Amino acid sequence: MKTRQDAWELMCRHTETESLRKHMLAVEACMRHYATKYGEDPELWSIVGLLHDFDYEKHPTAEEHPVVGMGILKDEGWPEEIIRAIGSHAAERTGIQRESLMEKCLFAVDELSGFILAVTYVRPSRSISEVEVSSVKKKMKDKSFAAAVSREEMLHGAEELGLSFEEHVQNCLDAMRGAASVLGIE
């Protein structure tokens, strides 16, 4: 069985930039939070969050990401459940439709966690403790702020989970506050 440490080492071999590593750590924190909330395996969900973009730095094109990473995971003997979940977060490119709750959560937290990090970084204190749901919603209205982040995907992710957007944001804020020291946003 592969461990979180195995996932960390794989991610570090393929990802050098601190910002992308922090994004994956933020997704990991949100996935762990949701796994606990839904009575699922936090270790498994954590690994999926940590690895979901590990190939992006070297293979950022729509044709390559996450397909190249999925191939690496398969070659290294990672469980199909993890590989499939990672492929499903880019369903429009891979054709792997999100079916499991874990797959839906990964899609739901991916864009939102990055957006929350961006909102945190523009705070004078750079502390997530100052970020509220209303702060996130306000920044969403500013189309020039974190312009690459899809607002539609963030909203659709909450919908796929059957949550209000506000509840989903609060869940991710809580998760990321719990990992604030690792994310450098205390």
Burial (Cβ within 10 Å: 0-12, 13-18, ≥19) of residue 151? middle
Q: What is the value of pTM for the model shown?
A: 0.97
Fold exhibited by the domain 4-183: Hypothetical protein af1432 (1.10.3210)
pLDDT, tens digit, 9 for 90 and up, residues 138-185: 999 999 999 999 999 999 999 999 999 999 999 999 999 999 999 999
CB 80, CB 92: distance < 8 Å: no
- Side-chain half-sphere exposure of 25, counting CA atoms within 13 A: 22
Residue 89's nearest CA partner among 107, 112, 68, 101 is 107
pLDDT, tens digit, 9 for 90 and up, residues 90-99: 999 999 999 9
Q: Which two tokens stand for residue 136?
A: 């996130």
Residue 14's nearest CA partner among 86, 85, 68, 93 is 68
Q: Where are the domains of the chain?
A: 4-183
pLDDT, tens digit, 9 for 90 and up, residues 60-111: 999 999 999 999 999 999 999 999 999 999 999 999 999 999 999 999 999 9
